[in-house]
Amino acid sequence: MTLPDIEWLHLAVRWFHLIAGVAWIGSSFYFVWQDDSLVPAPDDPDADRLGGHVWMVHGGGFYHVRKYKVAPARLPDHLHWFKWEAYATWASGMALITLVYWLGAAAYLLPAGSPLAAWQGVAIGVASVVGSWIVYDLLCRSPLARHEGALAGAVLVLVAALAYGLSLLFTGRAMFIHVGAALGTIMVANVAMVIIPNQRRMVAALLKGEAPDPVWGQRGKQRSVHNTYFTLPVLFMMISNHYPITYSTRWNWLLLLAIGLIGAGVRRIFVLRHTGAAKAWMMPLAALAFVLLAVAATPARPPRQDAAEAGQSDFPAAPFPVVQAIIRARCTACHAEHPTMAGFEEPPQGVILQTPEQIVQRAELIEKMAVTTDAMPLGNATGMMPEERAILGRWIAAGAPPP
Ligand code: HEC
């Protein structure tokens, strides 16, 4: 029996991570919606204790949810806590970052020519995740936290500093994932260290027959609101590695911030919509910001490529043998049936670039990964030069003619 490929483990962990994340974010959306949809319940027997109620219909059943201002007079025997979704998402996310970026540090975490050893890169990665939580938590406990705007500004500066700092040390895709992991860790730690403990204090007080301190609920609510705004930016960061147009640009850390802000803004609009305070222009404005960002982030193309596309003959497409020589020098160490690059057993993503047919067939993907962006060669492990990218670009612009 041969051992199955490690990719199966990656798949299992990623699948689990996605499912747990859907459960967590889904229930979080649901509770935010519910909080914003409560209406007063003056006829309820418990009216003076209630913050409001909401009626819902779903899947053929009617649901009636009542929210208490602080807590009910007597606790029910069965109380459901929402926490495993968050913990499972975090644990599987950490397993995934370990498998892909920390165990694969040489290929995925550190760019070619990095002065860092793999273990140093991993140590910085771990420190960035843990350190972000410590700084954020201190900010929330500082006097700054009395002013919502000031706290939001400070958190933004923290994220910007993290993104910029990591962009100097890590590959673009690793930087995006680490910022996402740091924010995700803050979200889970908010649940584990603040929201749940405060709920436990409230429950303990109730069991002793004392009135719970409303501050406990408020602190939990503050962190829970933060989590709401982190959600959409974090989800973007988690899928960003499919989009080299975002992470492999020169200003990638600014781009990450901008997309994060748009995500937080969209979340804000949704919250406002529930309370009826959203304006009709808000969503189109967010969409416009996204379009403008896409335009601003698109690099100017080398003039030669434009010339080739216009069919101008003084910039003829590079002859195929030159193209193939570049691919052989820069890509096939990994993208071959039997890669020679250490750490690669199989051609990554099944992409093989050895024969002319394989190269011609993949021309569009080659352009996406190695011409309009420098996502490939991974971490520029083979030292590809800009001139070589330009030659590939001219060949593709001329319609990727076969030999
Ligand atoms: C150091 C190894 C390495 C080198 C060298 C390398 N690649 Fe890759 N390539 C990878 C890995 C790893 C992936 C899979 C990335 C992932 O999992 O998202 C990949 C994926 C790809 C993909 C598939 C992307 C997709 O989304 O389907 C293409 C196309 C590609 N590489 C093209 C190139 C080209 C062109 C070159 C040379 C200019 C090159 N690669 C050099 C490691 C390498």
pLDDT digit string (tens) for 9-68?
999 999 999 999 999 999 988 988 888 889 999 999 888 889 899 999 999 999 999 998
Distance 371 CA to ligand 1 centre (A): 12
Residue among 335, 344, 358, 385 whose CB has most ligand 1 atoms within 8 A, to mutate:
335
Q: Is the peptide bond before 377 cis (omega within 30 degrees of 0)?
A: yes
| Number of the ligand 1 atom closest to the C-alpha atom of 326 | 38
- pLDDT for res 335: 95
Nearest to 180 by CA among 23, 87, 172: 172
Question: Of 143-147, 188-192, 266-270, 387-391, where does the model show the most confidence?
Answer: 188-192
* Residue in this structure with the two tokens 């968050």, named with its chain if needed: 86
Measured from the CB, is residue 364 less than 6 Å from ligand 1? no
Report whether pLDDT(403) > 60: yes
| Number of the ligand 1 atom closest to the C-alpha atom of 389 | 38
Provide the token pair at 391: 């030659």
- For ligand 1, atom 6, the nearest C-alpha belongs to 377
Distance 353 CA to ligand 1 centre (A): 10
Distance 245 CA to ligand 1 centre (A): 14
CA 348 to chain centre: 22
Mean pLDDT along residues 167-171: 94
Q: What is the pLDDT of residues 85-120, one digit of tens each?
A: 999 999 999 999 999 999 988 888 998 788 999 999
Measured from the CB, is residue 382 less than 6 Å from ligand 1? yes
- pLDDT for res 316: 65
Distances, alpha carbon 341 to alpha carbons 124, 157, 221, 348, in Å? 25, 39, 50, 11
- pLDDT for res 97: 97
Least confident of 74-83, 129-138, 222-231: 74-83
Distance 216 CA to ligand 1 centre (A): 50
- pLDDT for res 2: 78
- pLDDT for res 106: 83
Nearest to 235 by CA among 32, 26, 82: 26
Average pLDDT, the chain: 89
Q: What is the pLDDT of residues 125-167, one digit of tens each?
A: 999 999 999 999 999 999 988 898 899 999 999 999 999 999 9
Quote the CA–CA distance of 303 and 115 in Å, as a whole number: 34
| Model confidence band, residue 195 (pLDDT cutoffs 50, 70, 90) | very high
- pLDDT for res 311: 53
Distance 331 CA to ligand 1 centre (A): 8
Distance 103 CA to ligand 1 centre (A): 18
Quote the CA–CA distance of 109 and 175 in Å, as a whole number: 8
Distance 298 CA to ligand 1 centre (A): 21
Quote the CA–CA distance of 325 and 353 in Å, as a whole number: 11
* Residue in this structure with the two tokens 């409230």, named with its chain if needed: 202
- pLDDT for res 262: 96
Which residues does 113 contact at the CB level (< 8 Å), separation at least 6?
Answer: 380
Quote the CA–CA distance of 232 and 261 in Å, as a whole number: 9
Measured from the CB, is residue 334 less than 6 Å from ligand 1? yes
- pLDDT for res 184: 97
**Cα Dmax for the chain:** 88
Distances, alpha carbon 177 to alpha carbons 102, 209, 233, 256, 263, in Å? 12, 46, 11, 11, 16
Taking the CA of residue 53 as centre, how many other CA atoms within 13 Å lie in the half-sphere pointing to its CB? 15
Question: Of 204-208, 221-225, 260-264, where does the model show the most confidence?
Answer: 260-264
- pLDDT for res 306: 57
The set of long-range contacts for 136-141, using a CB threshold of 8 Å and a minimum separation of 24, is 136/186, 137/189, 137/193, 140/222, 140/223, 140/226
List b or e across 311-327, with b for residues whose CB sees 16 or more CB atoms inside 10 angstroms. Answer: eeeebebbebeebbebb
- pLDDT for res 3: 79
| Number of the ligand 1 atom closest to the C-alpha atom of 366 | 35
- pLDDT for res 310: 56
* Single-letter residue type at 312: Q
Do 376 and 333 touch, CB atoms closer than 8 A? no
Distances, alpha carbon 60 to alpha carbons 23, 53, 56, 57, 119, in Å? 21, 20, 10, 7, 55
Nearest to 182 by CA among 129, 232, 234: 129
Do 237 and 178 touch, CB atoms closer than 8 A? no
| Number of the ligand 1 atom closest to the C-alpha atom of 108 | 12
- For ligand 1, atom 11, the nearest C-alpha belongs to 348
Measured from the CB, is residue 173 less than 6 Å from ligand 1? no
Query: Vertex 372, ends 394 and 236: CA angle to 5°?
Result: 160
Mean pLDDT along residues 194-203: 90
Taking the CA of residue 18 as centre, how many other CA atoms within 13 Å lie in the half-sphere pointing to its CB? 7
Distance 90 CA to ligand 1 centre (A): 28
Q: What is the pLDDT of residues 249-297, one digit of tens each?
A: 888 999 999 999 999 999 989 888 877 788 889 999 999 999 999 988 8
- pLDDT for res 94: 98
- pLDDT for res 305: 54
Distance 336 CA to ligand 1 centre (A): 11
Q: What is the pLDDT of residues 296-317, one digit of tens each?
A: 887 666 555 555 555 554 556 7
Quote the CA–CA distance of 372 and 363 in Å, as a whole number: 12
Mean pLDDT along residues 340-353: 87
Measured from the CB, is residue 341 less than 6 Å from ligand 1? yes
Do 232 and 264 touch, CB atoms closer than 8 A? yes
Report whether pLDDT(216) > 70: yes
Taking the CA of residue 37 as centre, how many other CA atoms within 13 Å lie in the half-sphere pointing to its CB? 13
Do 245 and 295 touch, CB atoms closer than 8 A? no
Do 163 and 175 touch, CB atoms closer than 8 A? yes
- pLDDT for res 37: 87
Quick one: CA torsion of 229, 230, 233, 234, rounded to 10 degrees?
-150
Quote the CA–CA distance of 254 and 258 in Å, as a whole number: 6
Least confident of 192-196, 265-269, 345-349: 345-349
Do 175 and 101 touch, CB atoms closer than 8 A? no
Report whether pLDDT(245) > 80: yes
